[in-house]
Homo-oligomer: A and B are copies of this chain.
């Protein structure tokens, strides 16, 4: 049993290095990405759409060329543990999602996924064993057509210097950058050497 080009142990180690620890969500996510890749014609590049910000984006970043920073992975946080890989040229692809019926056959996976138990009460070893055994067997698949608006890679257009903060920003955002329009995540800041 493999996860992409890796043995389960090697993937587990990769997850530990990148994600910090072998989180159940990244391990399950690995099987999901692997399963979708097997269903798609090889030798092509696919874009990725991830429906949760938790764990799953890291499985995608580790097993495909898609990253947040190169823009081939888009995270649209709908709170569903699901992802799609699709052909950017026409939006056609395959979506994989955790199937709530199939997951009910695996106690620890079910209880982890549905947050039935607190983390301290989880049997981590059994959860890990169940994920390894079930793999993408707790998932179902759909052929999807990604909406046009998501395919169109919005160009940021030209750049300007914000008259307020003096930093560069996409001029289509308006007369000021978005931070100076009130979206700054900082309560205050002070120039430092």
Contact = CB atoms under 8 A, between A and B. Distances in A.
Interface of A: 18-20, 23, 25-26, 39, 49, 51, 53-59, 61, 65, 67-72, 75-76, 78-82, 84, 91, 94-95, 97-101, 103, 113-115, 140-148, 150, 156, 158-159, 161, 165-170, 173, 177-179, 183-193
Contacts of A187: 91, 145-148
Contacts of A84: 186
A188 B100 CA distance: 21
B185 A150 contact: yes
Number of copies: 2
Contacts of A166: 100-101
A55 B68 CA distance: 8
Given A20-B65, A78-B169, A179-B80, A146 B185 contact: yes
A100 B23 contact: no
A159 B100 CA distance: 11
Contacts of A23: 69-70
Given A53-B71, A78-B169, 18 more contacts: A20-B65, A25-B69, A51-B179, A54-B69, A58-B70, A68-B75, A78-B177, A84-B186, A94-B192, A95-B186, A113-B168, A114-B159, A141-B192, A144-B186, A144-B189, A144-B190, A145-B186, A146-B187
23 contacts: A18-B67, A19-B70, A20-B67, A23-B69, A39-B192, A51-B179, A54-B71, A58-B68, A58-B69, A61-B67, A68-B75, A78-B169, A78-B177, A80-B168, A81-B168, A99-B167, A103-B168, A113-B168, A114-B168, A141-B193, A142-B189, A143-B190, A144-B188
A127 to B, nearest CB: 16
